[in-house]
Structure 1
Amino acid sequence: MLRIKGLKVQRGSGADAHRVHLPELTLARGSVLAITGESGCGKSTLLETLGLLLAPEALEQYRLGGQDIAALLAADDQKALADVRARSLGFILQNGGLLPFLKVRDNISLPRRLLGLPHESDHVEQAIAALHLGSLLDKLPQQLSIGERQRVACVRAIAHQPQLLLADEPTAALDPHNARQLFELLLGLVDELGLSALVVSHDWELIDSFGLPRLTATNLPGEACFEPAR
């Protein structure tokens, strides 16, 4: 269970400052919520804050499972926050974020190896097969297309079975067929593994075709407030 209340974060300063406000969010295990809004409204900023990459300026509550993340942030406990990022969070970045000097198989297994988990995993093998990555495992990221790199990044993000998956435009570089296939895989894995997932996407048609609920931005001068779409 993910529970957020009273989150505010600011990016930039002075005339360039942009504030993002999330009044409240509850997300059950096995659930996926899409984050939508106009370009520049702060979708990625919100995701990075929830992913503990940006520090909020205000936060009443942030609980993930049994973890009180808000207390760790208030205490500036960087060691504990780093452990939460490594164990409890999975990230899919817009550019894939693969390490260029590691082969695909090693990029995928990296989160598990860092946590001392067995390299082999049934759900990882299932994801590799579903996204047709078997023939790419011994290649380096620079040998892959943008879409292939993004598919690899998706598998890596769920390899260690995080509690919360944070995906920033995971289908932006994919054709419609592969985008739908990737969404189907992510939804299936979220349900099967009991994860919670937040997915930033500009593809409202794809989101609506899967019946995903949306958290959308209301834009004000220098500020965006994210609330459930009605």
Structure 2
Amino acid sequence: MLDIKGLLVARGEGAQAHRVRLNELHLEQGEIRAITGESGCGKSTLLEAIGLLLAPQQLNHYRLGREAVDVRQLLAENQQPALAALRSRQLGFVLQNGGLLPFLKVRDNIQLPRRLLGLSSRSRAVEKAVEVLRLEPLLDKYPQSLSIGERQRVACVRAIAHEPQLLLADEPTAALDPHNAQRLFELLLSLVNELGLSALVVSHDWALIDQFGLPRLGAVNGEGETRFEPLV
């Protein structure tokens, strides 16, 4: 589902530059992995590069999805329309700030990815997620009337609404109380399994990661560079 080798992405310039390196990552269909490390080490940068929001300085191999699309070639040829189509259809994002559109009600925010792709409005995965996260009373509200935690729960449902092949979640439980954080993790694991997705989840909540037995991609910090490697 996801196969990456030799990824290097940098932020900043000169003495302020910080490199983030991923030598190898392979995710099978239905597999979820946590990305961990101290604040500022580059976890979000890594997620953005994998999510095609940042162009890497180096990339040896990148295949995505059941069709094993050659992402490295698309990047090398600067095929922006094809990359945009890949992001919108194959990837699902959960951002730290939720990223909901303030002028759309909750139900319309959730449905937006499906509408943009011309998919039917009904989705068993969405209905299950709304039920598990208890979002029914919020569907006709606007984002500004929600708490931060409620917005994050809605953002998680929107991220899987179009049933992407790879889910990328940046601190999805940061604004949630322990009970809802656990419910959200349970939901993510269930949907990844049922829909045959793969998922990468950035998280500081190591206790929750350990509770669910998620394998980790951990940060190894060096001078001016962070390398992410599987932790045993």
TM-score (norm 1): 0.99
Deviations 1:56-88 (A, max 9, x none): 000000101221111100100000000000000
Measured in 2, the distance between the counterparts of 1:92 and 1:207 equals: 17
* Deviation of the 1:15 alpha carbon: 1.1
Q: Which residue of 1 aligns with 2:158?
A: 156
Matched, 1:15 2:15: yes
Secondary structure, counterpart of 1:10 in structure 2: strand
Letter of the 2:144 partner, please give it: Q
The 5 Å alignment of 1:97-136 reads 97-136=99-138
* Deviation of the 1:123 alpha carbon: 1.1
The 5 Å alignment of 1:1-230 reads 1-65=1-65, 66-230=68-232
Q: Percent sequence identity over matched residues?
A: 73
* Deviation of the 1:115 alpha carbon: 0.2
TM-score (norm 2): 0.98
Letter of the 1:62 partner, please give it: Y
Measured in 1, the distance between the counterparts of 2:170 and 2:35 equals: 9
Deviations 1:23-71 (A, max 9, x none): 0000001010000001110000000000100000000001012211111
* Deviation of the 1:120 alpha carbon: 1.2
Listed as ranges, the gaps of 5+ residues in structure 2 are none
Measured in 2, the distance between the counterparts of 1:85 and 1:94 equals: 18
Q: What is the aligned residue count?
A: 230
Letter of the 1:229 partner, please give it: L
Deviations 1:135-191 (A, max 9, x none): 100000000000000000000000000010000000000000000000000000000
* Structure 1 stretches of 4+ moved >6 Å: none
* Deviation of the 1:122 alpha carbon: 1.1
Measured in 2, the distance between the counterparts of 1:182 and 1:14 equals: 40
Secondary structure, counterpart of 2:192 in structure 1: helix
